[in-house]
Structure 1
Amino acid sequence: MNPVFSFIILTFNEEQHLPRLLNSITKLNAPVFILDSGSTDQTLKIASDFGAVLQQNAFENHPKQWDFALKNFEIKTPWIIGLDADQVVTPELFNQLANFREEDYQDINGIYFNRKNIFKGKWIKYGGYYPKYQLKMFRNGIGYSDLSENMDHRLLVSGKTIIWKKGHILEENLKENDISFWITKHNRYSDLVADEEIERMRNLRGQTVRPKLFGDPYQRTAYFKNLWWKLPLFIRPFIYFGIRMTFQLGFLDGRTGILFHFLQGFWFRLIVDMKISEKLDKNKNEQIK
């Protein structure tokens, strides 16, 4: 068994995706820990057949699910790799992990992987979606889940981090090829984001990551989110979509890519703003009564 790193994977009805991910990492011979949130398909059987350590926890949001996983699995390896079930480790990234030596990273606490996002079989290369660095590998006991947001989830570390620009994790949710699934999923997410933003308006929620334009990937994200929260509702989706289409060259992703940018960069953001407005109006009316 690999003595250096273990995998944690979150699942919910992932029979389409889990075999694909497990097959991409099986030859690394690393311990696998799976936190499931109530699957009713073959996910648990697939995980059990693979020999993964299984736990279940009711899902509230991704940050809290990762927090539960990190606090409740007994992981012995010095490093942890956190993956989503719809991701796959590419051969080039596999080779980097296979050749990973603890002694080469003595002063490092976290490693960013480069992600490729696939939508309806199309690699979304533009619109700010590539390169996309996510902190996926971190020291056991140092990495933790950022609980400052309801939907966006990230794993954080204190101390020094590095970026692996070569090799990728491929992220492709095959269930999202059905547009009804995509809409239902993001309608649910829009409630989480709307509630979160209202809490921010009332100074009930802050940011864990220090915003910094020229900082690490997550600090840059925090910087632009700070700008986003200051923009007027209903105007900002038009600004964001326009930037993705023009300055970030989203139009080069072709018909499928433009559809993705419209759904993710405009439709979803507009629905969030509508729900924020509705919730604020409802709260005002309740206070008047």
Structure 2
Amino acid sequence: MADLTAIILTRNEEDYIAECIESIKPVAKKIVVVDSFSDDKTVSIAQEAGAEVHQHEFYNYAKQYMYAVEIADVKTTWILRIDADERLTKESAAELEKLCNENENTDVSGIVLRFYNMFLGKPMMHGGMYPWKKLSVYKAGIGNIEDRNMDEHIILKSGTTVEAKNDSKHLAFRGLTFFTNKCNWYSTREAMDYFEQKNVSTENADFKTRLKMKVYYKLPLGFRSWLYYAYRYYIRLGFLDGKEGQIFAFLHAYWYRFLVDAKIYEHEKMGTEFKPTGALK
């Protein structure tokens, strides 16, 4: 076991939370769940699985996570940020334990985990979506989360990172209805982020944010979603994932990315105000 506290944010995750907790139990000394007032059995299942559970009103992931770190009163060396639909495998859990224990007293402050995405029952191994890498583990007091509405990342104050070699699982797909609703929910938050960052310096932002603000959003509306699809499906070989890969790339480009653009256009033309979306239901 590593000297590690795991933090999970939840909202109606009764079908996912138990397996998530079980996957991190061999590694984490403490597991803290912060729930956005689920109306299913998420809270009771998490408690029965051995997690410490708190409830807090949701505004966005960044603020919810900052609250979770505060309420967790972390005493361990490391913190693991993991979603309810993410899983450590037996191999990735053993590797994470080893990396944490080996680097307690080194200049390594963060550990990047790698995931594969499941979509329509198939792992997406092409299209630039694999491996999906995320700085998920960091030393307490050294990492902060970006205060953004969407696509927030852990930023380290100091130190270096190491990258895990074993894959973990990301089980974000729960049917096409849920997937498209989730994209709609996320698109509002990304459009809000666009306007918040439009006139703000991106000097200290991560590479992905700088690329979006300095290059992607400078392209014409409509063209950029087409370019995104061509990049994912053709250039990054998304077609090798079969029909599932085509649907995955198409929905990401022409539903999610184009919907973000449409909401930006709507706001600029109609002056409509964005309202807090609350937690994803």
Question: TM-score, normalized by length of structure 1?
Answer: 0.87
1:107 matched to 2:95? The reply is no
Matches within 5 A, 1:1-289: 2=1, 4-28=3-27, 30-99=29-98, 100-103=100-103, 105-147=105-147, 149-173=148-172, 176-201=173-198, 203=199, 205-207=200-202, 209-210=204-205, 219-225=206-212, 226-283=214-271
Query: After TM superposition, what 4+ stretches of structure 1 lie above 3 angstroms from structure 2?
Result: 102-105, 205-210
SS in 1 for 2:25: helix
Using the TM superposition, give the Cα deviation of residue 193 of structure 1 relative to its aligned residue in structure 2, in angstroms: 1.4
In structure 1, distance between residues paired with 2:164 and 2:254 = 29
Q: Give deviations 1:8-61, integer Å, cap 9, x for gaps.
A: 111111111111111212233521011111111111011111221211111122
Using the TM superposition, give the Cα deviation of residue 143 of structure 1 relative to its aligned residue in structure 2, in angstroms: 1.1
Other-structure match for 1:216: none
Using the TM superposition, give the Cα deviation of residue 265 of structure 1 relative to its aligned residue in structure 2, in angstroms: 2.5
Gaps of 5+ in 1: 211-218, 285-289
RMSD over equivalenced CA pairs, Å: 2.0
SS in 2 for 1:110: strand
**One-letter amino acid of the structure 2 residue matched with residue 83 of structure 1:** I
Give identity over the alignment, percent.
33
**One-letter amino acid of the structure 2 residue matched with residue 112 of structure 1:** V
Using the TM superposition, give the Cα deviation of residue 172 of structure 1 relative to its aligned residue in structure 2, in angstroms: 0.4
Instruction: Indicate conservation of the 8 Å contact 2:12/2:42, yes or no.
Output: yes
In structure 2, distance between residues paired with 1:277 and 1:154 = 26
SS in 2 for 1:64: helix
Number of aligned residue pairs? 270
In structure 2, distance between residues paired with 1:242 and 1:128 = 12
Using the TM superposition, give the Cα deviation of residue 282 of structure 1 relative to its aligned residue in structure 2, in angstroms: 1.2
**One-letter amino acid of the structure 2 residue matched with residue 21 of structure 1:** C
Q: Give deviations 1:204-227, integer Å, cap 9, x for gaps.
A: x454744xxxxxxxx442343232
Q: Which has the higher contact order (CA 8 A, sep 6+)?
A: 2
Using the TM superposition, give the Cα deviation of residue 276 of structure 1 relative to its aligned residue in structure 2, in angstroms: 0.9
Instruction: Indicate conservation of the 8 Å contact 1:146/1:208, yes or no.
Output: no
In structure 2, distance between residues paired with 1:119 and 1:161 = 33
Other-structure match for 2:278: none
Using the TM superposition, give the Cα deviation of residue 245 of structure 1 relative to its aligned residue in structure 2, in angstroms: 1.3
